Amino acid sequence: MTYFPEEVVEHIFSFLPSHSDRNTVSLVCKVWYEVERLSRRSVFVGNCYAIRPERAVLRFPNVRALTVKGKPHFADFNLVPPDWGGYAGPWIEAAARSCAGLEELRMKRMVVSDENLELLARSFPRFKALVLISCEGFSTDGLAAIASHCKLLRELDLQENDVDDRGPRWLSFFPDSCTSLVSLNFACIKGEVNSGALERLVARSPNLRSLRLNRSVSVDTLTKILARTPNLEDLGTGNLTDEFQHESYAKLASVLDKCKMLKSLSGFWDASPSCVPFIYPLCHQLTGLNLSYAPTLDYSDLTKMVSRCVKLQRLWVLDCISDKGLQVVATSCKDLQELRVFPSDFYVAGYSAVTEEGLVAISSGCRKLSSLLYFCHQMTNDALNTVAENCPNFIRFRLCILEPKKPDAMTGQPLDEGFGAIVRKCKGLRRLSMSGLLTDKVFMYIGEYAKQLEMLSIAFAGDSDKGMMHVMNGCKHLRKLEIRDSPFGDGALLGNVAKYETMRSLWMSSCNVTFKGCQVLASMMPMLNVEIMNELVGSSEMEENHGDHSKVDKLYVYRTTAGARDDAPNFVKIL
């Protein structure tokens, strides 16, 4: 290989499919490092604090697509205090200085300001795609800046962000010359949009393939839009409540009928049951369906729709579907790969119409199932065993029994054996979330069998440090471990410190780790940031009032080359 010109080496590298492969070849020798870094087009930063932004952009000056992730996953559930961090500013500023060719930016769980979006919009003349997931800190003014300055914009995808709505004008900032849109998703914008501006934008976007509207868009506007986009592949509807005339729905049905490419449907905000029959003609061609924002659709509405969706691969529903409804899914949707069943009742130990029976039915009918998120009222070991037998192809398995520490509903036993069966039979399992009554035994099974596991989420589980140690010692590919309300302490924290260098991060909240234990970890492992968050405001109080043996509320440990971060708020102490 050393006799090949660099262009040839670069060309060979272009066939490497993953970031980790490219990372590996860059370690071979200095020449390869240089060739690789200058030809790298896509950079993925899983933890924004693992590396200084300047260092990342200087190493890869020709990057076209940058992905950065900020807050830990449990931030989604309000476990990370506000103002913790994850600021997009330093990344956008660094890229603006060093990577003028940037075309795509993806950010997840980060704090993005309008100023950041303005800078982004003005700094990259070839910018094409902005994807923001679960971010906050910006308003529709920032979106207006993106719309007006990114002349080549193809994709604006806003998923589940907390956006300050400053009015409908932002959509009008797309200039008449902007005709390149392929994907537009503004479902998370809370307020009205200007329907005329929206219709005109769609009319001049012949390449539009994915469009996700927000709640405010009326049936009539949706109909006018769809008349212009017969090639649409993915649609998120607007408002489908029953305040509209039958005539409006009939017109909608006739334009939907022309959308032969439409494969994926979502939205259905508070959809009225009377709108459901108008969707029937589309059902046979759908591969993706998200009905999880329609609590007004009951079991019978849902099953009438789903039973027609014979090609369905991805289904998101509310538990209103009930076990009976899941049986219909099992008999109708033989190609199902991903299922998410969300709760309609968020109270602890609230009522859910979905139990282990629904899951068993799904597993026996949908043998290709590989990704599951299932909120339910109860579970049994027997059911989990059957599910594991039926569907050995699980890659992601997330089960949430609504009541913490609930045992097997039939036997009253812990659910160790059931989850044990899952990890034993699903050899490709990469992500696992558990719930219900669980002892150290389940962790023994995980450590022994879950050899491909990369992410594990634990809540209200385990008996002793041994539990966590099984996982730390056994799961060779573990990258992210997040634990809440479980009795793991300093022994577990310090039992295998070298492991943290091979992982992205560890989160522990409401466990038994102490201040002293964290200090020991920090002193043994200088390449880790050990962040402690306690309820008390002000780090000085933490040292004074709490002795070394006081428990730490929240602990976040991650490997980093950047040292302690300088943007931490005063409730975060970095050891």
Partner 1 sequence: MSEEPARSSTESSSAASSGLDFEDTALTLRLPGSAAADRSPRASHAPPSPKAQVVGWPPVPRNRRNALPRSKFVKVAVAGAPYQRKVDLEAYAGYQQLLAALQDMFTSHFTVRRVGDEEMELVDVVSGVEYVPTYEDKDGDWMLVGDVPWRMFVEACQRLRLMKSSEVVNLAPRDAQ
What distance lies between CA 190 and its chain's CA centroid? 20
CA atoms of 46 and 48, how far apart (whole Å): 7
- Picking from 255, 328, 430, the residue whose alpha carbon sits closest to that of residue 315 is 328
Q: What is the DSSP string of 26-58?
A: TTT-HHHHHHHHHH--EEEESSTTSS-HHHHHH
**Between 349 and 537, CB nearer to partner 1:** 349
Among positions 450-469, residues that touch partner 1 (CB under 8 A) are 457, 459
Longest CA span, the chain? 73
Is there binding between residue 348 and partner 1 (CB under 8 A)? yes
Q: Is 436 left (phi over 0), alpha (psi -120 to 50) or beta?
A: left
Q: Which residues contact 113 (CB under 8 A, 6 or more apart)?
A: 88, 89, 137, 138, 142
Of the candidates 35, 43, 66, 79, which one interacts with partner 1 according to CB under 8 A? 79
Q: Is 490 helix (H, G, I), strand (E, B) or coil?
A: helix
The helix or strand, by DSSP H or E, that contains position 338, with its residue range, turns out to be strand 338-342
Of the candidates 95, 135, 184, 188, which one interacts with partner 1 according to CB under 8 A? 188
In this structure, the number of other CB atoms found within 10 A of the CB of residue 315 comes to 27
Is there binding between residue 74 and partner 1 (CB under 8 A)? yes
Q: 368 is written with which tokens?
A: 């290709």
Of the candidates 60, 186, 249, 293, which one interacts with partner 1 according to CB under 8 A? 293
Of the candidates 88, 153, 317, 400, which one interacts with partner 1 according to CB under 8 A? 400
Is there binding between residue 152 and partner 1 (CB under 8 A)? no
Residue 21 beta carbon to partner 1: minimum distance, rounded to whole angstroms: 32
Is there binding between residue 412 and partner 1 (CB under 8 A)? no
Residue 48 beta carbon to partner 1: minimum distance, rounded to whole angstroms: 19
CA atoms of 475 and 5, how far apart (whole Å): 41
- The window from 217-225, 349-357, 382-390, 558-566 that contacts partner 1 (CB under 8 A) reads 349-357
Residue 155 beta carbon to partner 1: minimum distance, rounded to whole angstroms: 20
**Between 213 and 402, CB nearer to partner 1:** 402
- The window from 44-52, 223-231, 236-244, 336-344 that contacts partner 1 (CB under 8 A) reads 336-344
Is there binding between residue 355 and partner 1 (CB under 8 A)? no
Q: How many residues bind partner 1 (CB under 8 A)?
A: 36
Is there binding between residue 273 and partner 1 (CB under 8 A)? no
Is there binding between residue 351 and partner 1 (CB under 8 A)? yes
Is there binding between residue 534 and partner 1 (CB under 8 A)? no
Is there binding between residue 292 and partner 1 (CB under 8 A)? yes
Residue 561 CB burial class (10 angstroms; 0-12, 13-18, ≥19): exposed
Which residues would be at the binding site for partner 1 (CB under 8 A)?
74, 76-79, 134, 160-162, 188, 269-270, 292-293, 295, 298, 342-351, 353, 375, 400, 402-404, 433, 457, 459, 484
